[in-house]
């Protein structure tokens, strides 16, 4: 490596270094030679290494450019003269306590600026001179105990013990965060910037030892500095925050904590910090030069200079949210069924992106090395998913649960285990940031489509072995429980992928017709799939109810006793599960109704605008290098290899749009009828939404026809469905607004030159259903509206 | 004077350049690219600034900011030898 060799060489360079590179090598000046060689090049020529992509060159830092060269950072006299081993402040006036408190307070705030406000470490925590100094000492001598570490040496215990230990505590927390980041689930740069500038953040020191050191600081403060309440609170806060590694499965495995008490205690401390009016960051002053950009100039650095991020004053409120998100994430431990866990993970990161630590901890806490929550093996977890949806009461389940039928049992179990990987990938995808989450579906859909095709074959084969369940009222069609579950999951993902595009503002208004029409189409397929399952569940429940009559007809004896025992099993075990599954299917039916109705309302509104030539489901940006079809196919590329359901073609989408249009004559008089259709759909959505909301609010009472599985993620789920309800109302109002605006130009049938269309998010509405909004032509608002 | 006639631009790619920017500041890095103005792109750069040494990663150095560029004499000799060997195979 050039670097290692060069470091040695550079250290030995003399100032004029004319001839010697420092390791005995003779150096030859080639400045003029280089100038001559390059002057002979054609102006557009760049001589470069074959493997080097010039795009990578855009990341290069240009030396001698003040905006890019950290060596040009200018430091003031206080920064240059700052001495970490000098006890700043007048000891007689309490200024030293004020200084130490100020530094610790800012370090806590800086942690939040880094973790919650997505700032970098060099502009927040590492800008503190004490952090840089102590970590440089540790990096130079990475020992395994704090006892062996060199600390501050001011001869004032406030600095040497309290501040020194506090810095150690903060750095230990950074080490933990860095570990969480490395263990996956969140991404460097896009989720969190963990650039520690090649400093060793106490790699050999245990968190327990750091906590002990902080506890000794706290004792010192209580005993010797009675007026240090704020500093005591900050130290106690840090001690509590350092309990977080105990909830990180990869960090502690067998000893991972499930008791959330220390986290609730942290919340109490944070609350007291907020309440005690410490939001004012200007309350304390720091030793001059204590926070500096100097580290960017001194340490290994391949980033341009950045100003220090000054705390804004709301850091403890952010910390409150940070801790609440973590507590919410770890509440996943309360879930007992696969449906509850599925719903928890689906809703947890839904309405707003949770803090990065909470998302990472959820993933590591839920998906452990060989189990889910330490309770269920991966295969058992997958079986639970199947059982709680479509497998209960089936012949296939009887075979799987009957260990005697070894041959068929083993081959089926082996086949089913292939599903575990797909299921885990789904779970890993859910807590990701919104962009990664949608991107993850590209791969997931391929996987799930592939296993669907595979299992349709398996299940056909199993049918030939007599392992089958048929739905009598639907022409005796086979149920195929595993494929039914896979198909349901896949369709839900396809709908989510399409609607997430609105959330992330991926689509232009002209694309909204195809996307919403596609969602309607997918929901219809989902509904048909659910109807099959629902019919089977009803059939099976009816069979169990009537089984008793069969027993009565039997003569007393062994056969009758066997039938009675079987009946008991059916009523005690199978029937309750079938009832739960029916409620779950009812929930998905409602999801279908909601997505179908809201999507159709959007389709109606698009068609209305298209009828007046304000918008079209194709782009005017098509050139001779592309075409409407190419652009459409590119947008639907994710679904290009999906076998079932068949994805409509570009032409089919265009034809569907035509079917919704209203035309002259009397075009204006046809608007109310179109809106009436739309409002009927919206009413259906509202009924379904109110039903789901009521079920969640009443805690899923036993007589509820729906099971939402949201008991442990109640608030998020309620907010989500209420946002959908708000969107249903907003869409209805928007229909009237569009009608009014179109009626302003009664004589015109072509309003292409009058209006532009934008997709606007409604306050408190669902980000899946932004409104098609008319704006006067050429007077578009320049700012995009942020999602609610 | 060292004879540099054998050393062409392609011979320097991937090799360490020693660049002085001023009396206090110098860089060593692997040459990645160079243009017609002798502006260079160096990777794995190590900076020495008033005795303080640190890594800087990928760095572009405008030639106007350069006081001198040096390479090791070994590299020159190696290049000469390699080219001599190649040419002797074709003679």
- A contacts of B28 (beta carbons < 8 Å): 2, 6, 9-10
Cβ contact, residue pair B61, A62, below 8 Å: yes
Domain shared by A95 and A220, yes or no: yes
Mean pLDDT of the region A422-434: 93
Cβ of B16 under 8 Å from any chain A Cβ? yes
Query: Is a pLDDT exceeding 60 seen at residue A742?
Result: yes
Minimal C-alpha gap between A21 and chain B (Å): 8
| B51: containing domain | 10-87
Pairing of strands B16-20, A46-48: unpaired
Segment holding A531, helix H or strand E: helix A512-553
Residue A31 lies in a domain: yes
β-strands B40-49, B25-35 pairing: antiparallel
Residue A371 forms part of a structural domain: no
Query: Could you write out the three-class secondary structure of chain B?
Result: CCCCCCCCHHHHCCCEEEEECCCCEEEEEEEEEEECCCCEEEEEEEEEECCEEEEEEEEEECHHHCCEEEEEHHHHHHHHHHHHHHHHHHC
Chain B residue closest in CA terms to A10: B48
Which chain A residues are closer than 8 Å to B66 by Cβ?
A: 31
Whether the predicted pLDDT of A15 surpasses 50: no
pLDDT tens figures, A101-149: 999 999 999 999 999 999 999 999 999 999 999 999 999 999 999 999 8
First CA to last CA across chain A, in angstroms?
50
Could you tell me if residue A634 is inside a domain? no
* pLDDT of amino acid A13: 45
Q: Output the pLDDT for position A195.
A: 93
Please tell me if residue A555 touches chain B, with a CB cutoff of 8 Å: no
Per the CB < 8 Å rule, is B60 touching A21? no
Cβ contacts of A300 on chain B, cutoff 8 Å: 54-56
Predicted local distance difference test score (pLDDT) of residue B29? 96
pLDDT tens sequence across A208-227: 999 999 999 999 999 999 99
On whether both A759 and A613 belong to a single domain, the answer is yes
Task: Read off the pLDDT band of A474 (50, 70, 90).
Answer: confident
Mapping DSSP to helix (H, G, I), strand (E, B) and coil, where does residue A69 land? coil
Between CA A272 and CA A316 the distance in angstroms is 10
pLDDT of A642 > 60? The answer is yes
Chain A residues whose CB is inside 8 A of the B55 CB are 3, 7, 198, 300-302
Same domain, A136 and A23: no
Same domain, A11 and A156: no
Whether residue A3 and residue B55 make contact (CB cut-off 8 A), yes or no, is yes
In 3D space, the residue among A693, A691, A714, A590 whose CA is nearest the CA of residue A340 turns out to be: A714
Which residue range forms the structural domain that includes residue A746? 562-622+649-788
Contact A334, A129 (CB under 8 A): no
Chain A residues within an 8 Å CB radius of B61: 62-63
Task: Give the global pTM.
Answer: 0.89
Is the CB of B71 less than 8 angstroms away from the CB of A38?
no
**pLDDT reported for residue A784:** 45
- Given A262, A297, A328, the domain boundary residue is A328
**Separation in Å, CA A243 to CA A208, A421, A446, A572:** 9, 32, 40, 44
Is B6 an 8 Å CB contact of chain A?
no
| Mutation site for A-interface testing, chosen from B26, B36, B59, B64 by largest number of A Cβ within 10 Å | B36
With a cut of 60, say whether residue A322 has pLDDT above it. yes
Instruction: Note the ipTM here.
Output: 0.94
8 A C-beta contact, residue A670 and residue A661? no
The pairing of strands B52-61 and B16-20 is unpaired
For residue B34, is it within any domain?
Answer: yes
- Inside any domain, residue A507: no
DSSP states of A677-739 as a string? HHHHHHHHHHHHHHHHHHHHHTT--TT-S-----GGGHHHHHHHHHHHHHHHHHHHHHHHHHH
Max CA-CA distance within chain B? 51
Structure tokens of A648? 């409509």
> What is the Cα–Cα distance from A388 to A774, expressed in whole angstroms?
46
- Cross-chain residue pair B48–A38, CB shorter than 8 Å: no
Alpha helices, DSSP H, located in A430-480: 434-464
Between the two ends of chain B, the Cα-to-Cα distance in Å is: 28
In a domain, B4, yes or no: no
pLDDT > 70? residue A176? yes
Neighboring chain A residues of B52 at a CB cutoff of 8 Å = 298
Residue A472 has pLDDT above 80, yes or no: yes
pLDDT at site A19? 38
CA distance A432 to A428: 8
pLDDT exceeds 60 at position A783: no
Model confidence at A563, pLDDT cuts 50, 70, 90, reads: confident
Give the pLDDT confidence score for residue A8 in this predicted structure: 52
B-chain CB neighbours of A71 within 8 Å are 25, 47, 49
Q: CA geometry: angle at A132 spanning A128 and A134, to 5°?
A: 115
CB contact under 8 A, A49 and B29: no
- Residue A361, pLDDT score: 94
Please count the other Cβ atoms lying within 10 Å of the Cβ belonging to residue A536: 28
Average of per-residue pLDDT values in chain A: 90
Q: Which of A128-137, A142-151, A278-287, A634-643 has the highest mean pLDDT?
A: A128-137
Helices (H), A225-314: 229-241, 249-252, 261-275, 294-298
Q: H-type helices in A554-574, by residue range?
A: 558-569
Q: Which pLDDT does position A549 carry in this prediction?
A: 84
Is A469 inside any structural domain? no
What is the share, in percent, of chain A residues with pLDDT greater than 70? 93
pLDDT at A38: 95
Q: Do residues A186 and A218 both lie within one domain?
A: yes
Confidence (pLDDT) at A403: 65
Residue to mutate among A4, A12, A23, A27, with most B CBs inside 10 A, is A27
Residue A495 lies inside a defined structural domain of this protein:
no
Say what the pLDDT of residue A86 is: 97
Residues A166 and A40 in one domain: no
- CA–CA gap between residue A223 and residue A211 (Å, rounded): 18
Alpha-carbon distance of B34 to B37, in angstroms, equals 8
Helix (H, G, I), strand (E, B), or coil: what is residue A786?
A: coil
Contact B29, B45 (CB under 8 A): yes
Alpha-carbon distance B87 to B81, whole Å?
10
- CATH number assigned to the domain comprising residue B37: 2.30.30.100
E strand or H helix at A47, and its extent? strand A46-48
Q: Does A12 reach chain B within 8 Å, measured CB to CB?
A: no
Whether A356 maps to a domain, the answer reads no
Give residue-wise pLDDT tens across range A182-205.
887 788 888 899 999 999 999 999
pLDDT of residue A278: 52
Tokens representing residue B11 in the block: 């011979």
Predicted confidence at residue A281, as pLDDT, reads 55
Q: What is the pLDDT of residues A302-319, one digit of tens each?
A: 999 999 999 998 999 999
Say whether both A186 and A291 belong to one domain.
Answer: yes
Are A696 and A722 contained in the same domain?
Answer: yes
Structure tokens at B57: 């990663």
Helix (H, G, I), strand (E, B) or coil at A495: helix
What pLDDT is recorded for position A14? 38
Total domain count for chain B? Answer: 1
Whole-angstrom Cα distance, residue A456 to residue A484?
A: 9
Q: Which of A296, A328, A360 is the last residue of a domain?
A: A328
Query: Mean pLDDT, consecutive 10-residue segments, chain B of 91 residues?
Result: 87 95 95 95 95 94 96 90 83 64
Residues A596 and A689 in one domain: yes
The answer to whether residues A158 and A18 belong to one domain is: no
Shortest distance, CA B88 to any CA of chain A (angstroms): 25
**Are residues A260 and A111 both part of a single domain?**
yes
DSSP run (H or E) holding A756: strand A755-760
Q: Kindly state whether residue A100 falls inside one of the protein's structural domains.
A: yes
Query: Mean pLDDT lowest for which of A232-236, A461-465, A594-598, A762-766?
Result: A461-465
Do A598 and A690 belong to one domain?
Answer: yes
User: Tokens 């572009």 label which residue?
Assistant: B60
**A382: nearest Cα among A394, A400, A398:** A400
Q: Which of residues 25-64 of B touch A (CB under 8 A)?
A: 25-38, 41, 43-44, 46-49, 52-63
Using 50, 70 and 90 to split pLDDT, how confident is the model at A425?
Answer: very high
What does the pLDDT look like over A338-384, one tens digit per residue?
999 999 999 999 988 999 999 999 999 999 988 999 999 999 999 99
**Contact between residue A481 and residue A469 where contact means Cβ atoms under 8 Å apart:** yes
DSSP 8-state class, residue A371:
E
Average pLDDT over residues A488-508: 97
From chain A residues 269-308, the ones with a CB under 8 A of any chain B CB are 298-302
How far is B76 from A565, CA to CA, in rounded Å?
A: 93
In A, residues 181-200, which contact B (CB 8 Å cutoff)?
198
Domain boundary, last residue among A310, A328, A346: A328
Smallest CA–CA distance, residue A66 to chain B, in Å, is 13
Distances in Å between the Cα of A115 and the Cα atoms of A118, A121, A177, A256, A619 are: 6, 9, 9, 23, 41
């Amino acid at each position: 490596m050039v670097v290692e060799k060069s470091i040695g060489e550079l250290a030995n360079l003399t100032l004029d270094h004319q001839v010697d590179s420092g390791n005995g090598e003779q150096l030859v000046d080639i400045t003029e030679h280089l100038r001559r060689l390059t002057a002979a090049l054609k102006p557009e020529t760049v001589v470069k290494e074959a493997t080097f992509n010039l795009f990578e060159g855009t990341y290069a830092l240009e030396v001698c450019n003040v905006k890019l060269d950290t060596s040009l950072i200018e430091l003031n006299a206080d920064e240059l003269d700052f001495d970490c081993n000098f006890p700043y402040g007048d000891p007689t006036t309490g200024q030293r306590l004020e200084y130490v408190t100020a530094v610790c307070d800012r370090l806590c705030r800086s942690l939040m600026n880094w973790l919650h406000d997505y700032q970098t470490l060099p502009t927040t925590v590492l800008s503190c001179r004490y952090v840089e100094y102590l970590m440089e000492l540790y990096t130079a001598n990475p020992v395994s105990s704090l006892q062996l570490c060199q600390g501050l040496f001011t001869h004032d215990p406030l600095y040497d013990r309290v501040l020194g230990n506090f810095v150690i505590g903060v750095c230990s927390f950074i080490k933990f965060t860095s570990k969480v980041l490395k263990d996956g689930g969140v991404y460097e740069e896009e989720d969190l910037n963990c650039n520690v500038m090649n400093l060793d953040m106490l790699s050999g020191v245990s968190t327990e030892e750091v906590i002990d050191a902080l506890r000794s600081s706290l004792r010192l403060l209580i005993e010797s500095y009675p007026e240090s309440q704020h500093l005591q609170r900050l130290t106690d806060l840090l001690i509590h925050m350092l309990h977080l590694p105990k909830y990180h499965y990869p960090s502690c495995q067998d000893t991972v904590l499930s008791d959330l008490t220390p986290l609730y205690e942290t919340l109490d401390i944070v609350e007291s910090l907020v309440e005690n009016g410490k939001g004012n960051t200007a309350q304390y002053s720091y030793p001059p030069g204590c926070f500096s950009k100097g580290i960017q100039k001194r340490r290994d650095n391949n980033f341009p200079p950045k100003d220090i991020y000054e705390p804004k004053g709301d850091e403890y409120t952010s910390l409150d949210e940070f801790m609440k998100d973590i507590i919410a994430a770890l509440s996943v431990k309360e879930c007992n069924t696969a449906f509850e866990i599925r719903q928890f993970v689906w809703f947890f990161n839904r309405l707003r992106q949770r803090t990065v630590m909470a998302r990472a901890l959820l993933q590591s806490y839920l998906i452990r090395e060989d189990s889910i929550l330490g309770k269920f093996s991966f295969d058992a977890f997958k079986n639970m998913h199947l059982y709680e949806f479509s497998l209960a009461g089936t012949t296939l389940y009887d075979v799987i649960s009957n260990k005697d039928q070894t041959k068929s049992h083993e081959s089926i179990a082996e086949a089913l285990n292939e599903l575990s990987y797909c299921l885990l990938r789904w779970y890993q995808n859910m807590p990701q940031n919104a962009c990664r989450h949608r991107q993850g579906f590209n791969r997931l859909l391929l996987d799930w489509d592939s296993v669907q095709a595979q299992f349709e074959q398996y299940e056909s084969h199993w049918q030939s072995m007599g392992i089958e369940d048929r739905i009598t009222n639907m022409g005796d069609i086979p149920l195929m429980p595993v494929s039914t579950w896979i198909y349901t999951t896949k369709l839900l993902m396809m709908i989510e992928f399409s609607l997430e595009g609105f959330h992330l503002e991926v689509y232009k208004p002209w694309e909204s017709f195809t996307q919403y029409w596609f969602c309607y189409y997918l929901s219809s397929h989902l509904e048909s799939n659910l109807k099959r399952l629902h019919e089977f569940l009803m059939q099976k429940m009816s069979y169990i109810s009537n089984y008793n009559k069969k027993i009565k007809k039997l003569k007393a004896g062994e056969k009758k006793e066997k039938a009675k025992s079987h009946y008991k099993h059916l009523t005690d075990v199978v029937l309750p599960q079938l009832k739960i599954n029916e409620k779950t299917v009812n929930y998905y039916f409602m999801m279908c109704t909601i997505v179908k109705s809201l999507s159709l309302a959007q389709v109606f509104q698009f068609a209305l605008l298209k009828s007046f030539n304000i918008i079209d489901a194709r782009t005017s940006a098509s050139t001779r290098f592309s075409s409407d079809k190419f652009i459409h196919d590119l947008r639907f590329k994710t679904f290009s290899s999906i076998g079932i359901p068949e994805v409509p073609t570009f032409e089919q989408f265009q034809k569907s749009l035509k079917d919704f249009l209203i035309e002259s004559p009397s075009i204006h008089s046809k608007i109310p009828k179109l809106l009436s259709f739309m409002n009927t759909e919206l009413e259906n959505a509202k009924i379904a939404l109110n039903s789901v909301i009521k079920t969640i609010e009443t805690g899923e009472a036993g007589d509820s026809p729906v099971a939402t599985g949201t008991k442990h993620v109640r608030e998020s789920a309620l907010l989500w469905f209420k946002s959908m309800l708000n969107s249903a109302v907003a869409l209805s109002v928007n229909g009237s607004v569009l009608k009014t605006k179109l009626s302003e130009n009664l004589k015109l049938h072509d309003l292409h030159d009058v209006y532009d269309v934008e997709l606007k998010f409604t306050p408190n509405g669902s980000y899946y259903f932004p409104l098609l909004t008319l704006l006067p032509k050429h007077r578009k608002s320049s700012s995009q509206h942020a999602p609610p | 004077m060292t004879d540099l006639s054998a050393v062409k631009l392609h011979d320097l790619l991937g090799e360490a350049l020693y660049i002085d920017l001023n009396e206090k500041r110098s860089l060593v890095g692997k040459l990645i690219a160079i243009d017609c103005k002798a502006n260079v792109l160096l990777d794995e750069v190590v900076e020495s600034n008033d005795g303080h040494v640190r890594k800087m990663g990928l760095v572009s150095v405008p030639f106007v900011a350069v006081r001198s560029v040096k390479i090791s004499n070994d590299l020159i000799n190696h290049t000469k030898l390699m080219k001599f060997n190649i040419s002797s195979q074709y003679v």
